[in-house]
Structure 1
Amino acid sequence: MKRIAVIITDMFQDVEYSQPADAFRKAGHELVNVGIVSAGSIVKGEYGTLVQIDKPVRDVATDDFDALFIPGGYSPDKLRIDDNAIRFTRDFFTKKKPVFAICHAAQLLITAQVLEGRRVTGWKSLVQDIKNAGAEYVDEEVVVDGNLVSSRKPSDIPAFVRESLKMLQ
């Protein structure tokens, strides 16, 4: 069993959180919802899904987790203005721990400056941003590059989950 940090805030894309989260739990992994608000606060998805924050990002360390999961939607754009969220995300790359990023999650990775020289995918509106961050954009349902698993959109979730679970083995 692995312990996965889910970095999330308001306006996340509901199925990009719920479907992978359910699959990770069913595989026996523990999820800890990490946010930029206080523990116990509720964040809301674009379509109304409610998620309780277990720990604020300012109070957690990468060493407490085996992997990082970043759901898409507007959440990554809101997270990227928080210095603690950026530090926390960057630390997973520094320590070469698995990172699972779907859709708009690339926004947080761009701000954390961890994409240079990588192969990555993400939502189509981010293609140029990903390239400007020094990464090679790949238009495929899932791209695995070292410790990073990335996908483009909700229809890619099955492939995203499959490759993320492989990395957790």
Structure 2
Amino acid sequence: MANTRVAILMESDFYEPEIFYYQRRFAEQGIPADFLTRLWGQRSITFKGHEYRAPFDVSLSLEHVDPADYSAVIVPSGMVSDRLRYTEDVDRLAPATDFLRRAFERPEVIKGIICHGMWLASSIPYVVRGRKVVCHNNLVGDVRNMGAEYVDRDVVVDGDLVTGRSGQHCHLFAKTLIELLTEKELLARTDPSSQKDLVAQKGGTP
């Protein structure tokens, strides 16, 4: 997976079983995973998990990277996206929301949003309007108001968008992402001149 790298957005109150699973699972597959956040001018921030207050250090700023440098961008479950969508100026997108917006402009980048992660897209509802998604049961009304089509499955794939029901389904969510990333890598190796993105051609649910 030499040409594959994923970005995982991070903030406080993360769901530890999910985040630590991603950390191990992508490494097992040989896929580097960068954890990104808004650093607020600091060199690094230590976040605390929601369940066990486990610490997690993040030193990469989402404001200084291009989502196009990644094969996939993941918005995790829990309160992470609610904290990331904070903006001092309500007439401007939060940096994390703008990062997600730019990721949606690149169909070759897989967007993975799980559970309450859809909160981060609430200010840019047009990116999921008309798309098939699943989310936490508490957000079904939200995604429908955003114009998305709710599908009652644990994981849903709609082109370059992969959504998961809850943090407890992170293993199925990650499995789907890895399968798509592997297919992309194989396509790049067998047909380097191809500019078509395999993921963008996919649809439906796994």
* TM bucket normalised to smaller: over 0.9
Partner of residue 15, structure 2: 13
Partner of residue 168, structure 1: 181
Q: Which amino acid aligns with 1:123?
A: H
RMSD: 1.4
Distance 1:94 1:12, change over 3 A: same
Partner of residue 79, structure 1: 84
User: Moved runs in structure 1, 4+ residues, more than 6 A?
Assistant: none
Q: Which of 44, 49, 68 is 1:45 aligned to?
A: 49
Residue identity (%)? 29
Q: Which amino acid aligns with 2:47?
A: V
**TM-score normalised per structure 2:** 0.77
Q: Which amino acid aligns with 1:43?
A: F
Say if 2:128 and 2:146, in contact at 8 Å, map to a contact too.
Answer: yes
Distance 1:102 1:39 in 2: 28
Partner of residue 154, structure 2: 141
Q: Which of 110, 130, 138 is 1:98 aligned to?
A: 110
Q: Which amino acid aligns with 1:106?
A: M
Say if 1:32 and 1:54, in contact at 8 Å, map to a contact too.
Answer: no
Q: Deviations over 1:70-125 (max 9, x none)?
A: 11111111111242111111111110110111111111122233210100111111
Question: Unaligned regions of 5+ residues in structure 2, if any?
Answer: 88-93, 183-206
Say if 1:103 and 1:153, in contact at 8 Å, map to a contact too.
Answer: yes
Partner of residue 111, structure 1: 123
Q: Which amino acid aligns with 2:67?
A: T
SS for the counterpart of 1:12 is coil
SS for the counterpart of 2:122 is helix
Question: Unaligned regions of 5+ residues in structure 1, if any?
Answer: none
Say if 2:78 and 2:167, in contact at 8 Å, map to a contact too.
Answer: no
**TM-score normalised per structure 1:** 0.93
SS for the counterpart of 2:129 is coil
Q: Which amino acid aligns with 1:53?
A: V
Distance 1:64 1:41, change over 3 A: same
